[in-house]
Structure 1
Amino acid sequence: MKRAVIVGAGIAGLATALRLTQDGWHTLVVERAPARRSGGYLVNLLGGGYDAAERLGLVPALSDRALGLFTTVLVRADGRPKLTVPSAVAEAALGPRTMTVFRGDLETALYEAVRGHVEIRFGVTVSSVDQDADRVGIGLSDGTIEDADLLIGADGVHSATRTAMFGPDHRIDLPYVVAAFPLAHPVAAVRESSATTFIGPGRTAAVVNLGPQRSSAFFAYRCADPGRELERGPVDALRAAFGDLAAGVPEAIGQLEPDPSGVFFDRVSQVDMPRWSTGRTVLLGDAAWCVTLFAGHGAALALAGADRLGTALQRHGDDVSSALAEWETGLRPEVVKRQALARRGMYQYAPPSRFHVWMNDVTIRAITLPGVRGLIRRGIERQNR
Structure 2
Amino acid sequence: MKHAVIVGAGIAGLATALRLERDGWRTVVVERAPARRSGGYLVNLLGPGYDAAERLGLLPALSARQLGLFTTVLVRADGRPKFTVPSAVAEAALGERTMTVFRGDLETALYEAVRERTRFRFGTTVTSVDQDADRVRVTLSDGSTQDADLLVGADGVHSATRTAAFGPGFRVDLPYVVAAFPLAGPVAGVPESSATTFIGPGRTAAIINLGPRRSSAFFTYRCPDPPAQLRRGPAAALAETFGDLGAGVPDALRQLDRDPSDAYFDAVSQVVMPRWSTGRIVLLGDAAWCVTLFAGHGAALALAGADQLGAALRRHDDDVPAALAGWEAGLRPEVTRRQALARRGMLQYAPPSRFHVWMGDVTMRAITLPGIRGLVRRGIERTSR
Partner amino acid, structure 1, of 2:193: S
Residue 31 of structure 1 corresponds to which residue in structure 2? Answer: 31
Residue 99 of structure 1 corresponds to which residue in structure 2? Answer: 99
For 1:85 and 1:335, locate their aligned partners in 2 and report how far apart those are by CA, in whole Å. 29
Residue 320 of structure 1 corresponds to which residue in structure 2? Answer: 320
Moved more, 264-273 or 181-190: 181-190
SS in 1 for 2:292: coil
Moved more, 255-264 or 338-347: 255-264
SS in 1 for 2:44: strand
For 2:104 and 2:275, locate their aligned partners in 1 and report how far apart those are by CA, in whole Å. 30
Q: Does residue 375 of structure 2 align to residue 369 of structure 1?
A: no
SS in 1 for 2:15: helix
Partner amino acid, structure 2, of 1:52: A
For 1:163 and 1:146, locate their aligned partners in 2 and report how far apart those are by CA, in whole Å. 19
Q: CA deviation at 1:166?
A: 0.9
Q: CA deviation at 1:41?
A: 1.1
Q: CA deviation at 1:257?
A: 1.3
Deviation readout 1:310-331 (Å, 9 max, x if unpaired): 0000000000111000000000
Deviation readout 1:228-281 (Å, 9 max, x if unpaired): 100111001001100110001011011011221101100000000000001110
Q: Does residue 135 of structure 2 align to residue 152 of structure 1?
A: no
Partner amino acid, structure 2, of 1:17: A
SS in 1 for 2:14: helix
Residue 200 of structure 1 corresponds to which residue in structure 2? Answer: 200
For 1:280 and 1:342, locate their aligned partners in 2 and report how far apart those are by CA, in whole Å. 30
For 1:186 and 1:138, locate their aligned partners in 2 and report how far apart those are by CA, in whole Å. 47
Write out aligned runs for 1:298-309 (5 A): 298-309=298-309
Partner amino acid, structure 2, of 1:105: D
Structure 2 unmatched runs, 5+? none
Residue 291 of structure 2 corresponds to which residue in structure 1? Answer: 291
For 1:112 and 1:370, locate their aligned partners in 2 and report how far apart those are by CA, in whole Å. 41
Deviation readout 1:173-195 (Å, 9 max, x if unpaired): 00000000110112021011100
Residue 233 of structure 2 corresponds to which residue in structure 1? Answer: 233
For 2:281 and 2:12, locate their aligned partners in 1 and report how far apart those are by CA, in whole Å. 15
Residue 254 of structure 1 corresponds to which residue in structure 2? Answer: 254
**TM-score (ref. length: structure 1):** 0.99
For 1:168 and 1:357, locate their aligned partners in 2 and report how far apart those are by CA, in whole Å. 37
For 1:155 and 1:127, locate their aligned partners in 2 and report how far apart those are by CA, in whole Å. 14
For 2:243 and 2:163, locate their aligned partners in 1 and report how far apart those are by CA, in whole Å. 37
For 1:127 and 1:321, locate their aligned partners in 2 and report how far apart those are by CA, in whole Å. 23
For 2:297 and 2:55, locate their aligned partners in 1 and report how far apart those are by CA, in whole Å. 18
Deviation readout 1:58-108 (Å, 9 max, x if unpaired): 000000000000000000001000010000000000000000000000000
Q: Does residue 141 of structure 2 align to residue 141 of structure 1?
A: yes
Moved more, 51-60 or 31-40: 31-40
Moved over 2 A (4+): none
Partner amino acid, structure 1, of 2:345: G
For 1:139 and 1:231, locate their aligned partners in 2 and report how far apart those are by CA, in whole Å. 31
Residue 113 of structure 1 corresponds to which residue in structure 2? Answer: 113
Residue 378 of structure 2 corresponds to which residue in structure 1? Answer: 378
Residue 216 of structure 2 corresponds to which residue in structure 1? Answer: 216
For 2:184 and 2:40, locate their aligned partners in 1 and report how far apart those are by CA, in whole Å. 10
SS in 2 for 1:255: helix
Q: CA deviation at 1:13?
A: 0.2
Aligned length: 385
Identity %: 81
For 2:176 and 2:150, locate their aligned partners in 1 and report how far apart those are by CA, in whole Å. 35
For 1:263 and 1:253, locate their aligned partners in 2 and report how far apart those are by CA, in whole Å. 11
Residue 131 of structure 1 corresponds to which residue in structure 2? Answer: 131
**TM-score (ref. length: structure 2):** 0.99
Q: Does residue 190 of structure 2 align to residue 190 of structure 1?
A: yes
SS in 1 for 2:288: helix
- Note if contact 2:179-2:218 (Cα within 8 Å) is conserved in structure 1: yes
For 1:103 and 1:84, locate their aligned partners in 2 and report how far apart those are by CA, in whole Å. 26
Q: CA deviation at 1:127?
A: 1.3
